[in-house]
Amino acid sequence: MPMHARRVLAYLSLHKMVEQDCDRQVLAERLWIDAPPDRSRASLRTAIWRIRSAAYGLLDGDSERVALADSVRVDVHEFRRQAEQMLADTTDYESPGLVPHLRSPADLLPGWDEDWLLLTREQLRLLRLHALEHTARRMCERGLYAQTIDVILSVVDEEPLRESAQGILIKAHLCAGNPADAIRQYDRFRSNLWKELGLRPSPDLCRLISPRSKRTATLSNR
């Protein structure tokens, strides 16, 4: 499909996470912000025609409203469902089984420079990080320290200044009986945080690295 049709299809796919359908006039104004109203509506009609010509059944709607058909599966919808499932405090599923689907960071529509994409792109990025952190925290509570470290390292690697992730990683090292690793991780984070932002770790994170932990780490390195 041509780019103008792909933009309409992408917008409707993301919009469906918020509302079932979309007003045609609003859609035209959002996608063709610099065009006069008559021209933007004409461009939208052409785009919808091209979408329906390319694949029957992608869109539903009438002369006033348009929507992605309910039968269409969207990968972003599945991504969001899995992240929300990982965040749910239920006992009828094993959240680690969902982790591989969210381990690798992936930009939403990479290469697209659209204002209407910015908010959704950031929402999905943060949702993914929260889901991985929540799962790692639950693993740590269950004593799965090696698995906790494996999961949370993907968050720390992507966002090295994210203190909530650093706290989970440091705590997992301590619970696993590796205070030296915890101290090294804390010192690395503290140095980077000061260098990049001129900030110091929070008191809560500092308390994780108690003098007792430091003494243990020193003894273990001898």
What whole-number distance in Å separates Cα of residue 55 and Cα of residue 190? 54
Residue-range domain boundaries for the chain? 3-68, 76-220
78-82, 134-138, 161-165, 213-217 — which is least confidently predicted?
213-217
175, 140 Cβ separation under 8 angstroms: yes
* Torsion angle, alpha carbons of 121, 122, 125, 128, to 10: -110
- What confidence tens digit (pLDDT) does each residue in 139-163 have? 999 999 999 999 999 999 999 999 9
Whole-number Å distance between alpha carbons of 148 and 163: 16
The CATH homologous superfamily to which domain 76-220 belongs is Tetratricopeptide repeat domain (1.25.40.10)
Split at pLDDT 50, 70, 90, the class of 218 is very low
**CATH number corresponding to 3-68:** 1.10.10
Q: Quick check: 123 pLDDT over 80? A: yes
Does the pLDDT at position 168 exceed 90? yes
Give the span between the Cα atoms of 16 and 60, in whole angstroms. Answer: 12
Rounded-to-integer distance, Cα 38 and Cα 32, Å: 11
